[in-house]
Structure 1
Amino acid sequence: MSSFHIIEENDIPYSVAKEILQSFIQGVSSSSLLQKTFEYLNALEKCTPENARKLMEDLSQFVQKKEVRAMISSLCPENADELRAILVMEGRTLSQENIEKILNLIKSYKNN
């Protein structure tokens, strides 16, 4: 059994995790667990890794916590109620105007 060591922890969107996992599978190792994880992330992916990174950056003007930005960039909520359910973790309430701005950002980065 191989041994892994955590060298860095970072909150990232699913599509970015999939991109990292794909490069690892191609370059180093491909176990059934890694392949299943890749397939799972592939099924969940709602925007490209590049767009997810841009969305996380653009969300920083509205959302302070990186883990919340990563979750929004991963799940790409489609309506205000879905978005508010995620924003609860932010610990503060955003105005309806900012909710709409965030939803518009999501739409602009999401896969069609």
Structure 2
Amino acid sequence: MSKYLLDKFLYTVDRDPELVERYRTDPAGTVAWWEAEMAGTLLNCTADERTTWLSFTDDERAALAGHDHVTLFQMGAHPFLTLTLFIAMFERDHGPLEYQKAYGKAMEHIDMPYPDIAT
């Protein structure tokens, strides 16, 4: 499992409005495309610099494809990254602060100590 790769996915998708919409409408396809094309790119480097050892586990792929922020948090994905991306995708379907409240309610069963979100 790579918390770094989970966070990198959430961060890079959230910063591109077209990817946000793609992930909203085709999550499994977006995860597969991103893993094949983007996972190996290094942040803040030229496109020619790539690595080949990074990939999602089956559980990570399933949580990302299922928009499952609770499981992603339990895997160590940073909650601010899931929250900002998921607000961009789903807030429009809800009234003011409804999505944020539902996001928090879905995680109220998780007891401290919380998963380590350090990368």
Shorter-chain TM-score category? 0.3 to 0.5
**TM-score, normalised via structure 2 length:** 0.31
TM-score by length of 1: 0.32
Larger Rg: 1
The structure where helix makes up a greater share of residues is: 1
